[in-house]
């Protein structure tokens, strides 16, 4: 099945993994083919060709996975283990992933259309995140004594039980790390549903977890469609906490399903971030940084700055600097050297990007860099060129999340106007402000309504700094900080009358 195009140089371990198709899910420590016999193919976005086939799980299969996670929570000893004992297991898993970084990186690059160096960096990010939460769980206090007259009282934190996770296709492996690391470190068991477009790295992780000796049922990987496996997981009453990363449309469905079961849910959703650029910046340098951000992973990044709000006095120079750089971006096959921007994930996503360019133009945007389909000789994949539009922020291309390498420029005259423009969106994920005036930077950063504001940078992720969204970009606490670990413990009070 591994029908990638010749010369792509796959590692023998990757060839062997792909040859073992149809690939299976992991439930209760066992390889599981779906009970319906249905399978699906995953494509190499750079060639458009199938690379592997995998079994699709049904709602009944997902139910068995939740039961396996519940059984492991009660019976495997995982939940009651001392954090340092659990830490031995989790560090062993981190070691195994780190040892196989090149293999997982190549699988991820092939499945998601990522540049190999980026994919390997994301595997390392998984490892570092897992180690971070594993160590944190050993050092935080889980018992607090409460000073109450006439009573001895304290709170104690317990893991919840089986936790569900549903992930999108843009950062398949990295996001699994962000999601399950705090949950596992806190003593929960997990059921993970990867996106059906990019299931391979999660399937590989399941195998590594078993080899690393993680007790059966602690990590379950259920591969299936969103409508069947995703809906079954998010509506399962046996799940004690749910985490969903993806579009606001599906996030609503997951939130509704969890609400019916009174299951707390974290929703990490889309965005339409702004970069506010003041007149005192080094224009070529900032143009370079923003073009890099919008073309990174072909613009399929939830927190990207897609609305560039630029002071009117530097707008002409800024547009010229950006346009030249965008036109020079080398679009190519993701496994080939010299490629700066690979393909989008599938034909549907390419059509989505192209349709927004058409609609934006119809609504009157100036097509500064027109974008459009790109062709890469010898690789018949899903390629688009970067695009830069400008005009009114009422334009559909300035309002909707496109999820491609498309930026939209509008100008402002005053700081207040810039903040109002940045906040004129239903989303609230991440914005940035660019200026050498530190006072103004802080003011604007705090005034933009979103989960995250960055100063003189965009797409900044640091373990220890919470990352999450507000409004249409999400709810429920975010990821990557000490609060995330505490989210995976329920708090219980204990009182003794003296
Ligand atoms: P999507 O919402 O279409 O799919 C996400 C996941 O939900 C997939 O696993 C899919 O199978 C599943 N799903 C689909 N229908 C379902 C249903 N009815 N019930 C339960 N699950 C279902 O999103 P996508 O296209 O894979 O990803 C792109 C979106 O993800 C963008 O909006 C992007 O901004 C967002 N995203 C957000 C973050 C963040 O941290 N805030 C990170 C990455 C991506």
For residue 477, the model assigns a pLDDT of 87
Q: Whose CA is nearest to atom 35 of ligand 1?
A: 246
For residue 1, the model assigns a pLDDT of 47
Q: Whose CA is nearest to atom 16 of ligand 1?
A: 226
Give mean pLDDT, residues 173-186. 98
Pocket test for ligand 1, best of 56, 112, 129, 168 (most atoms within 8 A of CB): 168
Of the candidates 293, 310, 311, the residue with the CA atom closest to the CA atom of residue 302? 293
Q: Whose CA is nearest to atom 11 of ligand 1?
A: 226
Please give the distance, rounded to the nearest whole angstrom, from the Cα atom of residue 312 to the centre of ligand 1.
36
Please give the distance, rounded to the nearest whole angstrom, from the Cα atom of residue 6 to the centre of ligand 1.
32
Mean pLDDT (the chain) is 97
For residue 296 the two structure tokens come to: 């990174």
Q: Whose CA is nearest to atom 18 of ligand 1?
A: 227
Q: Whose CA is nearest to atom 22 of ligand 1?
A: 226
Please give the distance, rounded to the nearest whole angstrom, from the Cα atom of residue 52 to the centre of ligand 1.
22
Of the candidates 73, 20, 56, the residue with the CA atom closest to the CA atom of residue 204? 20
Q: Whose CA is nearest to atom 36 of ligand 1?
A: 246
Give mean pLDDT, residues 74-88. 97
Which atom number of ligand 1 is nearest to the Cα of residue 196? 11
In angstroms, rounded to a whole number, what is the distance separating the alpha carbons of residues 185 and 350? 38
For residue 8, the model assigns a pLDDT of 54
Which atom number of ligand 1 is nearest to the Cα of residue 178? 40
Tens of pLDDT, residues 60-72:
999 999 999 999 9
Please give the distance, rounded to the nearest whole angstrom, from the Cα atom of residue 305 to the centre of ligand 1.
19
Q: Whose CA is nearest to atom 43 of ligand 1?
A: 302
Tens of pLDDT, residues 26-59:
999 999 999 999 999 999 999 999 999 999 999 9
- Return the half-sphere exposure (C-beta side, CA atoms, 13 A cut-off) of residue 53: 11
Give mean pLDDT, residues 59-86. 97
Please give the distance, rounded to the nearest whole angstrom, from the Cα atom of residue 429 to the centre of ligand 1.
15
Pocket test for ligand 1, best of 246, 305, 404 (most atoms within 8 A of CB): 246
pLDDT at residue 229 greater than cutoff 50: yes
Block residue for tokens 């974008």: 371
Ligand 1 cavity residues, CB under 6 Å: 166-171, 193, 195-196, 226-227, 230-231, 234, 245-247, 250, 253-254, 268-271, 302, 401, 403, 429, 469, 474
Tens of pLDDT, residues 204-224:
999 999 999 999 999 999 999
Pocket test for ligand 1, best of 226, 459, 474 (most atoms within 8 A of CB): 226
Model confidence band, residue 86 (pLDDT cutoffs 50, 70, 90): very high
Model confidence band, residue 3 (pLDDT cutoffs 50, 70, 90): very low
Please give the distance, rounded to the nearest whole angstrom, from the Cα atom of residue 196 to the centre of ligand 1.
11
Q: How many residues does the chain have?
A: 498
Please give the distance, rounded to the nearest whole angstrom, from the Cα atom of residue 398 to the centre of ligand 1.
21
% the chain with pLDDT above 70? 98
Give mean pLDDT, residues 368-387. 97
For residue 440, the model assigns a pLDDT of 98
In angstroms, rounded to a whole number, what is the distance separating the alpha carbons of residues 185 and 487? 12
pLDDT at residue 7 greater than cutoff 90: no
In angstroms, rounded to a whole number, what is the distance separating the alpha carbons of residues 47 and 378? 8
% the chain with pLDDT above 90? 98
Which atom number of ligand 1 is nearest to the Cα of residue 169? 26
Q: Which residues are catalytic?
A: 268, 302
For residue 322 the two structure tokens come to: 């950006």
For residue 140, the model assigns a pLDDT of 96
Give mean pLDDT, residues 338-343. 97
For residue 6, the model assigns a pLDDT of 41
Please give the distance, rounded to the nearest whole angstrom, from the Cα atom of residue 394 to the centre of ligand 1.
26
Q: Whose CA is nearest to atom 15 of ligand 1?
A: 226
For residue 264, the model assigns a pLDDT of 97
In angstroms, rounded to a whole number, what is the distance separating the alpha carbons of residues 247 and 170? 11
């Amino acid at each position: 099945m591994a029908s990638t195009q010749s010369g792509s140089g796959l590692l023998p371990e990757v060839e062997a993994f792909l040859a073992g198709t149809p690939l299976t899910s992991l439930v209760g420590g066992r390889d599981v083919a779906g009970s319906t016999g249905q399978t699906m193919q995953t494509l190499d976005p750079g060639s458009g060709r199938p690379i592997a086939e995998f079994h699709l799980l049904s709602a009944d299969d997902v139910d068995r996975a939740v039961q396996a996670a519940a059984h492991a929570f009660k019976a495997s000893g995982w939940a009651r283990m001392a954090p340092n004992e659990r830490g031995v297991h989790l560090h062993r898993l981190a070691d195994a992933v780190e040892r196989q970084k090149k293999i997982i990186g190549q699988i991820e690059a092939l499945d998601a259309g990522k540049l190999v160096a980026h994919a390997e960096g994301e595997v390392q990010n998984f490892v570092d995140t897992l180690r971070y939460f594993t160590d944190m769980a050993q050092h935080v206090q889980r018992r607090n004594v409460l000073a109450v007259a006439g009573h001895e009282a304290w709170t104690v934190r317990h893991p919840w039980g089986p936790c569900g996770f549903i992930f999108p296709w843009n950062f398949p492996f990295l996001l699994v790390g962000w999601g399950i690391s705090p949950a596992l470190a806190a003593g929960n068991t997990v059921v993970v549903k990867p996106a059906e477009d990019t299931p391979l790295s999660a399937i590989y992780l399941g195998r590594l977890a078993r080899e690393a000796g993680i007790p059966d049922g602690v990590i379950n990987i259920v591969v299936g469609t969103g409508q069947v496996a995703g809906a079954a997981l998010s509506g399962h009453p046996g799940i004690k906490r749910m985490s969903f990363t993806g579009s606001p449309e599906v996030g609503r469905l997951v939130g509704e399903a969890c609400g019916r079961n009174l299951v707390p849910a974290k929703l990490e959703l889309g965005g339409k971030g702004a970069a506010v650029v003041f007149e005192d910046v080094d224009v070529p340098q900032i143009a370079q940084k923003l073009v890099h951000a919008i073309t990174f992973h072909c613009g399929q990044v939830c927190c990207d700055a897609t609305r560039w709000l630029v002071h009117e006095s530097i707008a002409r120079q800024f547009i010229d600097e950006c346009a030249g750089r965008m036109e020079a971006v080398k679009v190519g096959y993701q496994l080939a050297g010299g490629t700066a921007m690979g393909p989008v994930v599938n034909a549907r996503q390419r059509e989505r990007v192209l349709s927004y360019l058409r609609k934006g133009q119809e609504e009157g945007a100036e097509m500064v860099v027109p974008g459009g389909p790109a062709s890469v000789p010898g690789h018949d994949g899903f390629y688009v060129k970067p695009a830069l539009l400008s005009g009114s922020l009422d334009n559909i291309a300035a309002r909707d999340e496109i999820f491609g390498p498309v930026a939209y420029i509008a100008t402002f005259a005053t700081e207040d106007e810039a903040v109002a423009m940045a906040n004129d969106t239903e989303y609230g994920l991440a914005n940035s402000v660019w200026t050498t005036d530190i006072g103004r930077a802080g003011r604007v950063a705090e005034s933009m309504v979103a989960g995250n504001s960055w100063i003189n940078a965009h797409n900044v992720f640091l373990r220890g700094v919470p990352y999450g969204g507000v409004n249409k970009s999400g709810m429920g606490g975010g990821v990557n900080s000490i609060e995330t670990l505490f989210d995976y413990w329920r708090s219980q009070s204990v009182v003794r009358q003296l």
